[in-house]
Amino acid sequence: MALLSLSLDELRTRSSLKWQHYPADVLPMWVAEMDVALHPAVRETLLGAIERGDTGYPHGTAYAEAFAAMAATRWDWRPDVATRIRRAGDVMNSILAVLEATTSPGDAVVINPPVYPPFQQVVSGYRRTITEAALTPDGRLDLAAL
C-alpha cells in the first residue's frame, strides 16, 4: 500500500506547530508527525468514530492482536496478547517504562544514530550510559557492532 503524498503547499495549510511556527523558507523536519494523507480506510474509520461520539479510551485486545499477527509474520515471534503486549499513549513515557523495567542506573543503552535528541536526553537523564551503534548501509542493525 503506497503512502498518499501531499504537496508542500498542502502541508503548509495544516494547523500544527510544525507547519505554522516557521517561515515559508524553512522546511521543518520533525519526527512523529504524519506528512502524508490519511489512507481512505483510516479516514472513514475515524469519521465513523467521531460521528458516534466514540472517542473514549480503547478497550479490548484488537490492537494487541493486530500487533501479535504482525510480529508473527515479520519476526516469527508470537507474544501472548494477554500478558506481553501493553498499549502506551506516549513514546517518551514508553521509553521510560522500558528503561525502568529492563535496566539499572549505569547500564548501557544502545541507540542507533541519527536519533531524535530527546531519546538520548531521557536515557542520560535516567543515568544510563549511551552506546552508539550505527546501522548498516541498508538500515539494519549491525549485530557485530554491538
Per-residue pLDDT reduced to its tens digit, 55-91: 988 888 998 999 999 999 999 999 999 998 888 878 8
Q: So what's the pLDDT on residue 121?
A: 92
> Is the Cβ–Cβ distance between 131 and 106 less than 8 Å?
no
18's grid cell: 510544525
Assess whether 104 and 73 both reside in one domain: no
Give domain status of residue 146, yes or no: no
Question: Domain span at residue 69?
Answer: 57-87
Assess whether 96 and 128 both reside in one domain: yes
Domain total for the chain?
3
86's grid cell: 501493553
pTM comes to 0.57
| pLDDT of residue 146 exceeding 90 | no
> Is the Cβ–Cβ distance between 71 and 79 less than 8 Å?
yes
Give domain status of residue 24, yes or no: yes
Assess whether 67 and 47 both reside in one domain: no
44's grid cell: 472513514
Kindly report the backbone phi and psi dihedral angles of residue 11, in degrees, each rounded to the nearest multiple of 5, phi listed first.
Answer: -65, -40
Assess whether 75 and 42 both reside in one domain: no
